[in-house]
A and B are shown apart, each in its own frame.
Chain A
């Protein structure tokens, strides 16, 4: 398609979609209004199962099957991206001897922030049912923490501390754990991903039943998934070169 033809198609389409959006908006419930039927059902259900963070309760209990779907998309994309970024036959990983110069202050900051970020990440994962956060957010923080070593200028150290195969295995195991927890629910109550564990006391660390465990599984899966992704991109950008 030529460029001008593409623009004609775009303006026609954008005009149509824009009109439809505005027509739909005019009949939407007004912004900030009082009517939220889903909320009125979800909040009591969450509190009844000792999960003060209602969003976590929805993601890992009430709509846990959707989250399984989401995690499968994550797993699929990570596998796909890692496969696409694998060094091909005529490529080789070459590590430069010279890693470039990094300011001492930057290095120190990187090393100091590493343990802090790891703790914050773990905290966000394991308190996901109590405070804002959860497996997904904490997992991304944990994966970012590992890559602070790159900021600290040590790509070699990062590669040594980050055996890719472990994370690939962890990713698969965590995704599997999610399904196993779902099957436990199926066996005990007849419903896949049913919240079967004791709900505990509202506000305790070990409460909210399966939400806690599913959070941990998703945390492990997201951490390893993002590490695998970032390591594939880093390797392509920094060390994989064509040899001919």
Chain B
């Protein structure tokens, strides 16, 4: 196993842990986006350009945006 792959796998594991341990959902949208980029890097290294493309579009842009909007709505409702 190449060192680069080992680093990518460990980064993904660490990234997921950070996302889960981020309590504040607004900030979680940001860590989720970073986690999406880390997954994309891993997928590129695993020779999966198709998967990497959809991961970067969905995992680091669309889903975090929806999370952010949901957080904003949920907070606005409390006020």
- Is any CB of A less than 8 Å from a CB of B in the complex? yes
The chain A residue sitting closest to B49, CB to CB, is A132
Q: In the bound complex, do residue B69 and residue A144 qualify as a contact, i.e. CB atoms below 8 Å apart?
A: no
Residues of A within 8 A of B58 (CB): 140
Q: In the bound complex, do residue A140 and residue B57 qualify as a contact, i.e. CB atoms below 8 Å apart?
A: yes
Contacts of A41-70 to chain B: CB distance below 8 A: 53, 55-56
Task: Name A's interface SS.
Answer: helix
The chain B residue sitting closest to A229, CB to CB, is B66
The chain B residue sitting closest to A139, CB to CB, is B57
Residues of A within 8 A of B52 (CB): 132
Complex CA–CA separation, A170 to B13 (angstroms): 39
Q: Please count how many residues in chain B sit with their CB below 8 Å of the partner chain's CB atoms.
A: 17
Q: In the bound complex, do residue A134 and residue B50 qualify as a contact, i.e. CB atoms below 8 Å apart?
A: yes
- The answer, among B1, B50, B65, B73, for a CB contact under 8 Å with A137, is B50
Closest Cβ–Cβ distance, residue B55 to chain A (whole Å): 9
Q: In the bound complex, do residue A236 and residue B62 qualify as a contact, i.e. CB atoms below 8 Å apart?
A: no
Known interface pairs A31-B1, A132-B49, A230-B66. Does A140 touch B73 (Cβ–Cβ under 8 Å)?
Answer: no
Closest Cβ–Cβ distance, residue A37 to chain B (whole Å): 18
Residues of A within 8 A of B49 (CB): 132
- The answer, among A31, A32, A137, for a CB contact under 8 Å with B54, is A137
A220 close to chain B: CB less than 8 A: no
Q: Please count how many residues in chain A sit with their CB below 8 Å of the partner chain's CB atoms.
A: 22
B61 close to chain A: CB less than 8 A: yes
The chain A residue sitting closest to B57, CB to CB, is A140
B76 close to chain A: CB less than 8 A: yes
B53 close to chain A: CB less than 8 A: yes
Residues of B within 8 A of A233 (CB): 65-66, 69-70, 73
Contacts of A169-226 to chain B: CB distance below 8 A: 226
| Interface mask (B32-73 → A, CB under 8 Å = 1, otherwise 0) | 000000000000000001101110011001100110011011
B interface, CB within 8 angstroms of A: 1, 49-50, 52-54, 57-58, 61-62, 65-66, 69-70, 72-73, 76
User: With A137-B50, A140-B58, A226-B62 given, can you name 14 additional A-B contacts, CB distance below 8 Å?
Assistant: A31-B1, A32-B1, A56-B50, A137-B57, A140-B62, A143-B62, A144-B57, A229-B66, A230-B65, A230-B66, A233-B69, A233-B73, A234-B69, A236-B69
The 3 closest A-B pairs by CB, nearest first: A132-B49, A140-B57, A237-B69
A interface, CB within 8 angstroms of B: 31-32, 53, 55-56, 124, 132-134, 136-137, 140-141, 143-144, 226, 229-230, 233-234, 236-237
